[in-house]
Amino acid sequence: MYGDVWAWPAAEPGEAALAALMVGLSAAGALAQQRQKDRAQAGVRAAATTPSRPGDALLLRFLAGRDLRLGDPSN
């Protein structure tokens, strides 16, 4: 029984990976929409633009390509 289940992914690993990716993205999207709906029903506002944890600010600055040194903003 289980040999039949794994025969196709073993024979076609590229197509199996694509199928798993499509299912995973669909599931992640559905869960994200449900979470947003639940938060809206509970009256929780969307995340503010300010980071909630100290490390988040540093990560956001790094990803945005801004200066990582402490101090006043340069712009």
Give the global pTM.
Answer: 0.43
Tell me how crowded residue 27 is: count the other CB atoms within 10 A of its CB: 10
18 pLDDT more than 70: yes
- pLDDT in the model for residue 21: 92
22 pLDDT more than 90: yes
48 pLDDT more than 70: no
Q: What is the mean pLDDT of residues 16-23?
A: 92
- Candidates 70, 51, 47; CA nearest to 59 is 51
Could you give the CA distance from residue 36 to residue 31 in angstroms, rounded to a whole number?
9
The larger pLDDT score, comparing residue 4 to residue 49, is at 4
